[in-house]
Amino acid sequence: MPNLDALLKDTMLLTAAPGAPFQEFGGDAGDAGTSEAASPSVGARWTWTHDLSNAGRVTNLTYDLQDTPWYAAQTVTVLDELVWHPIELVHRGMPMTLELSKEFLLRKYEASRGSINEEPFRYWIPASIDESMMLVFGFQVNLRGPAGAITLEPIPRDVLAWDDFMPPANPPTPPKPPVMKVKRTETGTLRLTPLRVLVCAEFVCCTERNDYTPGNMARTSRFRPHLMLMSNRPLDKMAAKISIRRPAMTTMAHQMPEPSPGEPPHDPHAPHDHHGAHAMSTPTRGLAYDQDEMVHEMATGMWSDSNTAAVYWRKIANVTFPPLWSSIFSRVSTDLPAGTSFLMASPDLKGGDGFNTNIWSGHEYRTEQQQLMNRQGYFDNIHVAPPMRAPKSIRDFVKNSPLYKLDTIAMAPFCIHDCLHMHWRWLPAEEKWLWGWDETGPYKAQGEPHIPVNQHLRVELESTHAFAYCVRADTGLEAGHWQYILHEGLAYGNTADKEWLAKFMLGGMQFLDNWPSAAKTSWAMFYWFIRYWHLNGVVRERLLEDGAPVLPPYP
């Protein structure tokens, strides 16, 4: 029979840092923290700001990138803001809205170091944490509220210490209810227990690791802004929404190129032209003004993994047969507009025969039906990043052929700069940490979504640089069980796991031999090639973008 302290041991923050200090709020705990102004919380690499007066919001998340062969050490803005929206619940047919506000805040934990080791491997995979926090909110129905209405109040502090604050996850057979009899000289008192809901909003920032992609190919830094929700009574329905908002323009700076002949020198302190592009440095020498560039504006793309692509992930560094989009993905949509919305996972979606994909054969598009996993939805991941632009000599090389689309090149399956990744499903990979949920928890079902099995996930684009992660559930909302929302977390891409391998791979790309020499050192052209086929001025997507018209065969 757990009290609050026992329950919170299940959280990621207190798994990594069991003795993390906390501030107490709410109920009769006084006004602790009332005067606290929003101030940055600074860790070794991550920095963010949280203001108690706007408790459901974290702003200005930045990350200190280290020096790589592709960009200099710098601090980039990963998110403008993250918003935990009110959680909607229905209990016995009565709707209620849980506002994650200071009024209902019970505790705020902070920790900047701690780690989760290999074992146990139940809800949290190994991680070392950087600057992190956890907000604990408590809601209960005010039984003294007006008749016919549901009003909420904070859970009183004394209740939190009770051993039966929440029911056990596997309750024993309930005792027979007492017979409530009174004689004339007696008064019987019946205590009623209101519906109580505990919500933990964790914002756990992690240090860099190489376990976000199959084959440990990339180094990323995860952050885990998930919600955990538990009630003392079964719920009919639950809906939660988390907005993840990147800046409209990338804040990443690349080494400014040498001016091209005839151009004035660059002023590194001059304001950016936000409609232009940054030049990127490359790992090998070349004309400094003829380098990869990065568009300022963010763009959002979504991809689905091919369920037979595991073998291609193993060959991702293969310079002869690199991983083409047609072999590694089953569905793609780049540069999605605001308002786009897809169902990404659902218990209603059964595996088996799925959608058709148009794959370019070298002569024509052929239709292939995809085999889907259980609960697999429209896309598997979202990437918010500024697209790349091919070096100038290459754009000039094909400037009369706009079909080449060398001005906005999407990065996938890994990203070389300023990319926020979120994968709610991976292909059936070998690594267990890429497996999805089954009825018993995460990391159990190969190739299935990283979403609890009772949840429906919809992802909505709020803009070209922001999206909302929306889940709902109408089953499996049992008392005394945690409901995890956005358990899979997100990751900011830093660099290749083995930079020497990435350099080697870029330098050895034979498939770019027929392009100007800048292509041999161009990540943009690497990404372009694995997406596009071309011959004699005819360009085709190897995997036809979702919804795009099927173009005619090669003449």
Partner 1 sequence: MPSPWFDVPFLFCRLRIVASYTVRKNTMPSYDSLTTRDVEVAVSGAFRLQAAHGLQPYFRNEQVSLRVRGRTRGEFVLIERDTKVTKGATAKFAGTTTAGLVTLTLHPDDKNEAQMELPSGQGFTLPIKSHVWETLSYPGGTRTTRGTVDDEFSIGDFLTLTFPEKPGEVRLDKAKALTGFFPECETEGGVRLTGLLRLTADIPAFHLADDTLDANPIPHCRVRVLCPDGVEREYESDDAGDIFIPRADKGVYTLVEVLHDRAPQSAAVPGAWSVDVIPDMA
Q: Which residues contact partner 1 (rule: CB under 8 A)?
A: 28, 91-94, 141-145, 147-151, 156-159, 161, 177-195, 233
CA distances 127 to 31, 113, 214, Å, are 34, 10, 17
DSSP state of 148: T
> ∠ at Cα 193 (188, 198), nearest 5°?
165
Q: Choose between 15 and 231: whose C-beta lies nearer to partner 1.
A: 231
Distance CA 450, CA 468 (A): 17
* Shortest Cβ 192–partner 1 spacing (Å): 4
Yes or no: say if 94 and 195 are a contact pair by the CB < 8 Å rule. no
178 versus 339: smaller Cβ distance to partner 1: 178
Give least dist CB 36 to partner 1, A.
Answer: 21
Nearer to partner 1, 73 or 180 (CB): 180
Minimum CB separation from partner 1 for residue 161, in Å?
A: 7
Nearer to partner 1, 185 or 514 (CB): 185
Residue whose token pair is 């922001």 = 466
- Tokens found for residue 534: 């071309």
Give the three-state DSSP class for 392.
Answer: helix
Position 301, amino acid? G
Is 195 in contact with 142 (CB distance < 8 Å)? no
If you count them, how many residues does the chain have? Answer: 555
User: Given the complex with partner 1, which of 1 and 403 has the nearer CB atom?
Assistant: 1
Least Å from the CB of residue 477 to partner 1? 14
The DSSP H or E segment spanning 502 is helix 499-507
* Least distance to partner 1, CB of residue 482, Å: 20
Q: Which is nearer to partner 1, 256 or 479 (CB)?
A: 479
Between the two ends of the chain, the Cα-to-Cα distance in Å is 72
Token digits for 506?
Answer: 């870029």
Q: Which residues are paired to 141 by β-bridges?
A: 152
Cβ 199 to partner 1 shortest distance, Å? 16
- The three-class DSSP label of residue 320 is coil
Task: Give 177 or 547: the residue with its C-beta nearer to partner 1.
Answer: 177
Residue 540: strand pairing partners: 533
> What minimum distance in Å lies between the beta carbon of 326 and partner 1?
54
H runs (alpha helix) in 280-389: 310-314, 325-328
Alpha carbons 95 and 88: distance in angstroms, whole number? 7
Q: What are the beta bridge partners of residue 376? A: 345
Residue 504, amino acid? F
Which of residues 145 and 552 has its CB atom nearest to partner 1 in the complex? 145
Distance between CA atoms of 140 and 155, rounded to whole angstroms?
6
Q: What is the closest distance, in whole angstroms, from the C-beta atom of residue 228 to partner 1 in the complex?
A: 21
C-beta of 462 vs 474, nearer to partner 1? 474
Cβ-based nearer residue to partner 1, 137 or 329: 137
Q: Does residue 303 contact residue 545 with C-beta atoms inside 8 Å?
A: no
CB of 249 to partner 1, least distance (A): 47
CB of residue 11 to partner 1, shortest distance in Å: 23
Residue 431: HSE in the Cβ half-sphere, 13 Å Cα cutoff = 17
What is the rounded distance in angstroms from the CA atom of residue 475 to the CA atom of residue 538?
51
